[in-house]
Amino acid sequence: MSIRRAAALCAVPVLLAAAACGSGVGSATVDPRDVGPASGAITWYAINFGPEGLPQKLIDAFEKKHPEISVTYQAAPNNTDTMRATLTTEISGGSGSIDVFNGDLIWPAQFGRSELAMPLDEHLPDDFWDRYPEQRSELTEYRGDHVAAPLYADAGFLYYRKDLLEKHDLPVPRTWEELAKTARTIQDAGDAKYGYVGQWANYEGLSVNWTEMTAAAGGRSVSDDHESCTMETQENRRVLDFMRGMLDDEVAPSAITSFQEPQSLQTFVEGDAVFHRNWAHGFGESNNPEISAVAGKVGIAPLPTFEGEDHPGPSAMGGWNLMVNPHSESVGAVLTFIKWMTGDEAQRMLAENAVLPTVSDVLNDKELQRDDPVLAAAAEVPMVARPALFPRYAQVSYGMFTNINGSLAGTTPPGAALRAACDDIERALEGNAL
């Protein structure tokens, strides 16, 4: 509150200054609220992304363009949940030491509800959001107000061993059923220990894998209006049975129920698996001879679908947004930073460093796509969003991954698992914390 008042007090001189500089923000229908001067020092809190030192490279380029603003990069713990806990403690405690932070794509609704992120619509021109694909821009809204600006994107892909498929003269599988069969053939020939590895551990990543596979089969976990749980459907049952079948047939290693991204990637780069589902960084890493025993032998394809459904299967939307700490005292500078980071120059830098851009123009740039097969694939694949527009998404997701994981680990039969998932999800939809 006091910040708002202070901001109001500063309004007159700053507006005058802004007008004098002619650095207005264009065609906003609402006059941008006074935000302080677009200069000074700001702190950017983010999990390291891209190749080593990319955040600092971006900052250097930004500071060259805007010498009146200096940005300090503060590395966040490399774990989404830990980072959320840190941010919650800091921001709800009233700290303004972080001005702008990277926020997971699934955070906006939750952060919007808890006022942990500043609504941006009154500060940014209406056409700001046109730079993004519609689906991505929608995912940053809470109650009709954008609370985050997408910075970089991510999507799930199927990575496969080109050499093994060639050896057995088999095509890249288009359906999950075909994938399991292909994998089994190659395993039986003794060319790979495992057929498929993904992220089936007891965490958010399983919700991602689950969302992708069920979407391919035509299923979903929560209804569009966030009113009811739709876990107990034939489509979802088909997917869960299929996943369990992969375990029974030993196409997937039994350890997969404890696999997160690093474990599945490790298994793949050691040459122990034929197929691997991972995010975009999986391509660069599995083709990097320093860490991968299969460098140069890895191909990328869109995710498979299920028999009788449209190919390809959709990829889950991933990625990170920029969010503003409501306690920041340098909102003016932060907005300049956000505009630049989501602008052409920065987004191109991302694409050139194997990080998927969020801005449509850069994502669809044919020249960039020629140099980067991942970018080309990302522009093509259909996307599916986790039901994260709902503030209690974290709880919904818990209902999904815990029960699916329990069923994959053999603790609960599939029918009971889907029912239990619905119990958990419905409690969340009804607004109950437990």
Task: Verify binding: residue 259, other proteins, rule CB under 8 A.
Answer: yes
Measured CA to CA, the distance from residue 134 to residue 257 in angstroms comes to 34
State in angstroms the smallest separation of the CB of 121 from other proteins. 16
Task: Verify binding: residue 389, other proteins, rule CB under 8 A.
Answer: no
Residues 15-34 binding other proteins (CB under 8 A) are none
State in angstroms the smallest separation of the CB of 254 from other proteins. 5
Pick the binder of other proteins from 177, 178, 249, 272 (CB under 8 A): 272
Task: Verify binding: residue 278, other proteins, rule CB under 8 A.
Answer: no
Lay out the site mask for other proteins across 335-374 (x = CB under 8 A, - = otherwise). ----------------------------------------
Task: Verify binding: residue 116, other proteins, rule CB under 8 A.
Answer: yes
State in angstroms the smallest separation of the CB of 395 from other proteins. 5
Pick the binder of other proteins from 265, 408, 422, 425 (CB under 8 A): 408
Lay out the site mask for other proteins across 120-159 (x = CB under 8 A, - = otherwise). ----------------------------------------
Pick the binder of other proteins from 7, 17, 255, 295 (CB under 8 A): 255
Q: Which residues are within 8 A (CB) of 210 and not within 5 positions of it... i.e. 6 or more apart?
A: 221, 239, 400, 401, 404
Measured CA to CA, the distance from residue 380 to residue 312 in angstroms comes to 10
Please, which residue, 115 or 134, has the CB nearer to other proteins?
115
State in angstroms the smallest separation of the CB of 2 from other proteins. 9
Asked if residues 211 and 316 have their Cβ atoms less than 8 Å apart, the reply is yes
Measured CA to CA, the distance from residue 218 to residue 399 in angstroms comes to 20
Residues 199-218 binding other proteins (CB under 8 A) are 201-203
Pick the binder of other proteins from 69, 362, 394, 400 (CB under 8 A): 394
Of the candidate spans 27-35, 83-91, 179-187, 275-283, the one that interacts with other proteins by CB under 8 A turns out to be: 83-91
Please, which residue, 1 or 20, has the CB nearer to other proteins?
1
Contacts with other proteins by CB under 8 A lie at 1, 81, 84-85, 88, 91-94, 110, 114-116, 118, 201-203, 253-259, 263, 266-267, 270, 272, 326-327, 392, 394-395, 398, 402-403, 405-412, 424, 432-434
